[in-house]
Amino acid sequence: MKTLQKLWIWKKWLHDTKSLNHLTKLHKQAYFNIHATHQKRTGNYPNIQNPITYNDKIAWLALFDHSEKQILYSDKIAVREFIQDAIGGEYLPNLYQVADNFDQIDFTSLPHSFVMKSNHDSGTVKLIQDKINADFQSLSEQFTKAMDKPYGIEKGEWFYSHIKPKILVEEYIHTDSGFPPADFKFHCVNGKVVWLQYIFDRGSQTKELITDRNFIPMPLQLDTDFICTQTVIQKPTTWDKMIGLAEKLATDFKYVRIDLYNENERILFGEMTFLPRAGCYVTKDLEKFGALMQFDTSSVKTPIGPLIKGASNRGHIVL
């Protein structure tokens, strides 16, 4: 962290601690990391005294809304047991293998197509459509790097430091188009779906459509990496079922994003995300999304820090 930046964050820290009794030295390292990341990615520091924008509220959650369930449900392997118990195993993609490292994976026993993921981070995902032509050297390098690299703490995503890194290999969801399936990302506040972030046409010109809980398009954009569209899309026949499933999974949280797939009316669970993009979106609609996130900021929880100072991913909490 640059000296000048650190001084500015230090000044804000002193100001915020005077106004927020629940902001203590236990939050200090996370506070500095979160502010440095927000400034670098968005050019702004989050307002945690009076959070207004989407990014402000994600930063608030990262500091003041910790629970051990967030650790369990952020683990892409451990969350499967929760899904099994909460809504049923029929909503889980088939799991082929779990490995501690890349060399343990038995590729000879895998089907022609599959998906590889690391369980402890965001973004280490590889879709293998044809294993015969897969670049195994590149895959090995990518996943070995992911297994060895601490993840999340530098951005305030504290829960990842408690997950023991593993690789999971699961079912490839085939589509009629041949492209990856569309994502139904249900943003839930206080256990209720408030808006949907629908990501589709992946593999060509990926698009984002924001809708309300009735699948009516809203003139908003969250992720500027995608093409914003207001295209009217037919409401899925399984819409009410997906809403019910998302809300059942979101019950215990002020805010969580529940990702589902719906291919040929087969609903499958993707993941649960508590701090999407670490609250560092850059969009003109941040205040509008923040207004949709009406949760109680008067109740706070004791922070759960990284297991080892310096953010080691080598620990694991057993719940």
Helix (H, G, I), strand (E, B) or coil at 118: strand
pLDDT-based confidence at residue 310 (cuts at 50, 70, 90): very low
Q: Strands of 125-128's sheet, edge to edge?
A: 95-99, 167-170, 114-118, 125-128
Residue 313 predicted with pLDDT over 60 = no
Give 3-state DSSP helix, strand, coil % of the chain, rounded to 5. 35, 20, 45
Pairing relation of β-strands 227-228 and 183-189?
Answer: unpaired
* pLDDT over 70, % of the chain: 95
Q: What whole-number distance in Å separates Cα of residue 218 and Cα of residue 206?
A: 18
- Name the range with the highest mean pLDDT among 76-90, 153-167, 176-190: 76-90
Angle at which helices 79-86 and 239-249 pack, to 10 degrees?
Answer: 120
Bridge partners for 118 per DSSP: 167
Q: Which residue has the higher pLDDT, 151 or 99?
A: 99
Pick from 40, 38, 82, 42: which is nearest to 63 by CA? 38
Say which range, 49-58, 83-92, 226-235, has the weakest mean pLDDT. 226-235
pLDDT of residue 153: 86
Bridge partners for 260 per DSSP: 184, 269
Residue 249 tokens read as: 């999974």
Angle at Cα 153 formed by Cα 61 and Cα 300, nearest 5°? Answer: 25
What is the length of the chain? Answer: 319
pLDDT of residue 309: 39
What DSSP state is assigned to residue 121? Answer: S
- Average pLDDT over all residues of the chain: 93
Q: What whole-number distance in Å separates Cα of residue 285 and Cα of residue 219?
A: 9
| Residues whose CB falls within 8 Å of the CB of residue 111, separated by 6 or more in sequence, listed in order | 96, 131, 172
**Contact present, 282 and 42 (Cβ < 8 Å):** yes
pLDDT-based confidence at residue 306 (cuts at 50, 70, 90): low
Q: What is the arithmetic mean of pLDDT over 20-40?
A: 95
Summarised one tens digit per residue, pLDDT across range 105-131 is: 999 999 999 999 999 999 899 999 999
pLDDT-based confidence at residue 37 (cuts at 50, 70, 90): very high
- Under the phi-then-psi rule, with left for phi > 0, alpha for psi from -120 to 50, and beta for the rest, what region is 215? left
